[in-house]
Amino acid sequence: ERRALPDGSVIELNAGAEISVRFSPAQRDVRLIRGEAHFAVAKVAARPFVVTAGAVAERAVGTEFAVRVDSATVDVLVTEGRVAVERVAAVGDANAPAVEKTPAYLDAGNRAVVPVAALEAAPLAVQPVAA
């Protein structure tokens, strides 16, 4: 399923994927509830585009990337531009420990696979992906 957002961004949802979208004057927020989606983000420097999947947030301004979430991992693959990836408290988890926000920066052609259970502030592993 293809969804065009009011800012010009486009989200391609894989079968079974579910998202919720909330835009404010300061930020564009998308939550990937389940499944996999590819994001082609319209460049709006003053309004970062943030995708939250489980306990992982990806922040972009104008780029293209894919995110897949399942019960064990969040997989982020950047196909164009640069994306900051960081751990955050899971949505609705008031008892989650505070997470040190030290983002990993993924450039095009890189991916990060983040274990959902690993909320400790260990550095995210960034791997190059063959074309």
Q: Are strands 49-53 and 28-40 parallel, antiparallel or unpaired?
A: parallel
pTM above 0.85, yes or no: no
26: left (phi over 0), alpha (psi -120 to 50) or beta: alpha
What are the tens digits of pLDDT across the range 75-130? 999 999 999 998 886 555 544 444 546 788 999 999 998 887 755 555 677 777 77
Amino acid at 74: V
CA distances 102 to 53, 86, 120, Å, are: 17, 6, 11
CB neighbourhood size of 92 (10 A)? 6
What is the Cα–Cα distance from 8 to 120, expressed in whole angstroms?
35
Q: What is the largest CA-CA distance in the chain?
A: 41
